[in-house]
Structure 1
Amino acid sequence: MSITTLTGWATAHPWPATAAALTAVLAVAGLGWTAVRSLRQAARPSAAVVVAAIAAAACTAYSADTSWRFAEHRLGMADVGERAAMFAAAELALFSCGLMARANMRTTATEHTAGSPGTPGVLVWVITGVQVIPAYSESGPVGGTVRAMIGPVLAALLWHHAMGLELRIVRPGALSSGLPAIIGRELRERLLSRLGLAVRDRTAEQISRDRATARAVRLASRPNLRSWGQRRLAAAVARAHVGTDPNQRHRLMRELAARRGAAQLATITLPSPWEPEPGPAHPRTPAALTHQALTKMHPFDAIQRVHSANPGLHPAALASLMTEYGVVVSEQMVRIAIGAGNAPAADRTPAPSAPAPAVEPPHPLVLDIDTAPEVHPEVRAPALVSAAAQPRSAVHARVPECAPAPEPTPDAAGHETTAQDHPESAPESASEAAAGAHPSAPEPASADPLVEAARALGRPASLRTLKSKLGVGQARAQRLQQLTRED
């Protein structure tokens, strides 16, 4: 239908044409709104991915130009339609293999692995290698190199990164499980081991020391070493720094000892791996059998088993017997297992303690309290005595008991009289009465043999002089001083 026919029909039928036009506009608007909404909801790629995709598309177009020219000159596609339908087959295959490799990576990805592109990932590089041939065929060595690098090779690399096929970008800690990746890793590790670089985290100086140590071990293990070998050995030892580094020296000696004693490995006696290993020893004595049986049981079951064999034992004795059998239990556990109840509580009432006997302090000071008609001389002129020099820790006072009143006696005339009516029959002094009433009163001065010695020292002698000269104590010296003053 031509545009003129469509315009004539719309002029002849205005209302149906208007309805059709509005329906078409609404459909286009709906499709546009749906596309915009889908783009907004979709995760937006980063700017680097967008730029890489644009550059990959440009490189694919560069490769397509090479394929267009190669199809005309080498493949004999003179028809433009035929050439247009077939020239870009390799580019479309490259793009489709990249999409399938991306899908495989997302499908096989797990928590610890990044997934594998699989066969589509390998086909990407196979197609890239095939597309290099048209580049060199059309432009020669120089131009072909430019066409190959900017066209298929660069397009494959950019699609590889733009689609997220690079494992180091998707998951840095993951390793590829593809065959080329595995072969590459093995070759790299073997090459590093051959060069002596397999041990990581070593400085260049440490690598040189390790190599010199290995050379010194190899030379020192030879039985007959000539002068040139000795010089090489000395140089290797100096380069290894074994004289200043104790760790390097220890390593050198251990490796040299292992290399020299390698011949002894052929004579070492080793147990055969085909011989059965000895099993655990079986108990033979009754005590060992009982111990083995009880240790495999629960402690409460073991207690009940032993209690059934010894029903009359006290829980404490049963616990001791269980310990002898190798099952350590307490008396409380035994009581719980056999249902004997708790032990009777001990009487916690403290026993009345006997009163401590009164300790009589040594040499107590005894004071005889008595009345006197006059003040004593030592009270009128007291001597200075240090309180620290007094060893007395207690003072006892003895008060004389009151004498009973004398009973009246009848005299010759028949009158009752007392001792007060006859003063001549009373004691001469109060001191004599006290002495008669108290047998423990001190003896008179005439009975003390030290009184004369105290008088010979002079009147009055000090307490210190009396104690040092006569060898008496404080109380005795005071008594002697008192007697000498009374004289």
Structure 2
Amino acid sequence: MPTHPLITWAVDHPWPAAGIAAAGIAALGAALWATVRTARAITWPPGPVLAAGAGAIVCTIYSGDTSWRFAGEHLGMVDTTERALMFGAGELALLACAVMARANKAATATDATAGSAGVPGVLVWVITGVQVIPCYATSGIVGGTVRAVIGPVLAGLLWHLAMGLEIRVARPEALSTGLPAVIGRELRERLLSRLGLATRDRTAEQITRDRATARAVHLAAVLELHPDGALSGYRRRRLAAAVARSGAGTDGQQRHQLLQQLAARRTSGQLATVPLASPWAGTPVPDEAYPRTPLGVTGAQLRAMDPLAVVHLVRDAHPAVEPAGIAALCTEYGVPVSETQVRVALRAGNALHPTPAPALARPLPGPAPVVPDGVRLLPVTCRPAVPRPAPAVAAARTRTRPVVTAEYVPEHPVPAPGDVPDEDVPEGDRDVPDPDPLIEQARDEYGTDVPGIRALKARYGVGQARAQRIRDALGGTP
């Protein structure tokens, strides 16, 4: 029996053959290891999605067999190559539309909605409906129904589940925004409301009581309109049965509900004459419905910020407003601040634009010395100081002492300290109204921190007397 040349070569060269075999085994192991790692790294869809995808593939192949037969028997595609290229156009289009519908769902999905498949989702069902035609044309009514259900219909359903189930698994509470889903939800809610089941979380007994209460209200209203009618006895028996079934005799809440509904029905005619205030008259339209928020920041964001930061934002939005106006705007936006806080935040000191003190024509004279009437001061003369000798007794020391001489001058009396000429009084002290407006301004600016007289004079450009009055009004100590 002849042997293979490779076997003969391996027998004649055992070491090279062993090396080649080991290298081949190592390459096969590396390829298998890389395949396993790649498969583990793939994020596989959930199990239901994989099962739906596998079923959709099988049903698509089943539908492809129907398309193959239909192409040869009814479309005249006798060439095998032509038929192989053309028979699966519907199945490929179905798969492409399903993939695009899945992409649209993922792109439009949110936490509250499951997204919409859009036009590709509609085309999936259009293609499924068209593929039903070859099923009946190829196999008749019975066979065509089987081919249609197992082939294109199940393929479309399973592709829909495989492409859309993942979103519902991740967010079961999400609502679909597609047209069929919206119509279905609306019809379901209307049907439940029509059947009296719109109020959820009720037991069957409570539903029965509510229905009996509504029936009792209706029968009582009819009996009020026709108390002596032909069916009055029958209606009274039905009313008694409805009241008993409603439980109004033993349940206070149900009895209150029954009486309220009955009162509303009996007095419903008063709705036509109930006096109501007109919403079209008497409501003034404000010039500015809502205050302009600074730099587009909402009031809620301003209230969550630091008040000093809010002051800067309001000042940037209203650069020409004084600190008092800035404080008012901040309070209007919901951040109450005072004018002092505004000045601190803006580092504006006592005023945003301090008023310079007016320049005096000449400096005020110092306080005049108090001298008796008829006395005139003479120039002061000083004796030269005698150098102090070395340490000696205290009696030997001499001092320089000023000598003041005075003589009586009756014809030139000295003015009193408060009699300052008009030309020496600052402009801020002339014609001061009572009360002094600077007192309130100083109280707003300094509060309880009473400044000194010199600071008040420099700040407001007033004289000694007026500064003293302002300080005394603020409660300062002399």
Task: Give the TM-score category using the shorter length.
Answer: 0.5 to 0.7
Correspondence for 1:113: 113
* Alpha carbons of structure 1 residues 167 and 183: separation in structure 2 relative to 1, 3 Å: farther
Paired amino acid for 2:448: R
Correspondence for 2:280: 274
* Alpha carbons of structure 1 residues 74 and 244: separation in structure 2 relative to 1, 3 Å: farther
Correspondence for 1:91: 91
Correspondence for 2:251: 245
Deviation per residue, 1:294-323 (Å, 9 max, x gap): x9697667xx9x99548499x9xx9xxx9x
* Alpha carbons of structure 1 residues 161 and 311: separation in structure 2 relative to 1, 3 Å: same
Q: Residue 254 of structure 1: which of 260, 272, 290 is its match?
A: 260
Distance 1:312 1:168 in 2: 70
Distance 2:265 2:282 in 1: 33
**Higher gyration radius (CA):** 1
Distance 2:285 2:162 in 1: 64
Distance 2:101 2:90 in 1: 16
Give structure 2 stretches of 5+ with no counterpart: 1-23, 287-324, 332-336, 341-349, 351-433, 453-470
SS in 1 for 2:71: helix
Correspondence for 2:70: 70
Correspondence for 2:193: 193
Distance 2:451 2:221 in 1: 75
Distance 1:129 1:160 in 2: 14
Deviation at 1:73, TM superposition (A): 3.0
Alignment of 1:335 with 2:448, yes or no, is: yes
Deviation per residue, 1:109-141 (Å, 9 max, x gap): 334433221111111122122222222333333
Q: Does structure 1 conserve the Cα–Cα contact (< 8 Å) formed by 2:112 and 2:175? A: no
SS in 2 for 1:221: helix
Correspondence for 2:133: 133
Correspondence for 2:58: 58
- Two-structure CA RMSD over aligned residues (Å): 4.1
Deviation at 1:100, TM superposition (A): 0.6
* Alpha carbons of structure 1 residues 145 and 166: separation in structure 2 relative to 1, 3 Å: farther
* Alpha carbons of structure 1 residues 279 and 41: separation in structure 2 relative to 1, 3 Å: closer
* Alpha carbons of structure 1 residues 337 and 129: separation in structure 2 relative to 1, 3 Å: farther
Percent identical residues: 57
SS in 2 for 1:75: coil
Correspondence for 2:173: 173
SS in 1 for 2:115: coil
Distance 2:451 2:271 in 1: 63
Deviation per residue, 1:409-443 (Å, 9 max, x gap): xxxxxxxxxxxxxxxxxxxxxxxxxxxxxxxxxxx
Q: Does structure 1 conserve the Cα–Cα contact (< 8 Å) formed by 2:97 and 2:120? A: yes
Deviation at 1:198, TM superposition (A): 0.8
Q: Does structure 1 conserve the Cα–Cα contact (< 8 Å) formed by 2:49 and 2:165? A: no
Paired amino acid for 1:224: H
* Alpha carbons of structure 1 residues 244 and 141: separation in structure 2 relative to 1, 3 Å: farther
Deviation at 1:217, TM superposition (A): 1.0
Deviation at 1:36, TM superposition (A): 7.0
Distance 2:448 2:150 in 1: 93
Q: TM-score, normalised by structure 1?
A: 0.51
Deviation at 1:194, TM superposition (A): 0.8
Deviation at 1:37, TM superposition (A): 6.3
Q: Does structure 2 conserve the Cα–Cα contact (< 8 Å) formed by 1:136 and 1:144? A: yes
Correspondence for 1:101: 101
Paired amino acid for 1:271: A
Q: Does structure 1 conserve the Cα–Cα contact (< 8 Å) formed by 2:106 and 2:167? A: no
Q: Does structure 1 conserve the Cα–Cα contact (< 8 Å) formed by 2:53 and 2:159? A: yes
Correspondence for 2:208: 208
Distance 1:77 1:307 in 2: 113
Q: Does structure 2 conserve the Cα–Cα contact (< 8 Å) formed by 1:101 and 1:165? A: no
The number of residues matched between the two structures is 291
Distance 1:200 1:131 in 2: 43
Deviation at 1:168, TM superposition (A): 2.4
* Alpha carbons of structure 1 residues 60 and 309: separation in structure 2 relative to 1, 3 Å: same
Paired amino acid for 2:132: V
Q: Does structure 2 conserve the Cα–Cα contact (< 8 Å) formed by 1:167 and 1:175? A: no
Higher relative contact order (CA 8 A, sep 6+): 2
Distance 1:157 1:300 in 2: 71
Deviation at 1:72, TM superposition (A): 2.7
Give structure 1 stretches of 5+ with no counterpart: 1-24, 281-292, 323-332, 346-487
Paired amino acid for 2:276: L
SS in 2 for 1:114: strand
* Alpha carbons of structure 1 residues 111 and 205: separation in structure 2 relative to 1, 3 Å: closer
Q: Residue 226 of structure 2: which of 224, 227, 245 is its match?
A: 224
* Alpha carbons of structure 1 residues 86 and 244: separation in structure 2 relative to 1, 3 Å: same
